[in-house]
Amino acid sequence: MTSEEMLQREDKAWRSFTEAFGSVSPDRRNAEGVVPGWSTHDLVWHCGFWASHAADVMEQIRASGSEPEEPDYEALEPKVLSEGRARSWEEAVAHAERGRQRARAAFSGFDDPPPSAVEWFTAEAVEHYADHAGQIRQFVA
């Protein structure tokens, strides 16, 4: 798959994600249960964080050819969740949009993305948005 095709996949997944979270009524955005213990607001913030993290990783791959160590997801995720819950809905959406743009820019910075960059972009953008869009749609239904 070409870089342009990957960017198109990401765009389609992002649009699906924004349509899904945009369909949640304001009075249910903070209601837990989209996934156990998490709200739509939480997932929007979470996706922004991980897309931005993927951008950091891809930038390091481009600069040095190596990836940083895997984060301790179990230790990091509660901090991400707490930070997001301290933000407004508008801030969470803006954060997700910034993370998305950073991930796209980092991925686009490669002439020929190495497999590790493709993997990060796919996992933390394309598939991440698609997975959570489906969960949000089920929550709304």
| Residue 40 resides in a domain | yes
What is the C-alpha to C-alpha distance for residues 81 and 75, in angstroms, rounded to an integer?
11
* Confidence at residue 73, expressed as pLDDT on a 0 to 100 scale: 85
Closest residue by Cα to residue 117 from 75, 47, 80, 64: 64
| Residue 65 resides in a domain | yes
* Confidence at residue 96, expressed as pLDDT on a 0 to 100 scale: 98
Dump pLDDT digits (tens) for 111-122.
999 999 999 999
* Confidence at residue 70, expressed as pLDDT on a 0 to 100 scale: 82
Q: Look up the domain containing 123 and give its range.
A: 3-18+36-140
Dump pLDDT digits (tens) for 22-68.
999 999 999 999 999 999 999 999 999 999 999 999 999 999 888 77
What is the C-alpha to C-alpha distance for residues 53 and 9, in angstroms, rounded to an integer?
19
Which string of b and e fits 61-76 if b means at least 16 CB within 10 Å? bbeeeeeeeeeeeeee
| Residue 91 resides in a domain | yes
Overall domain count for the chain: 1
| Residue 79 resides in a domain | yes
| Residue 105 resides in a domain | yes
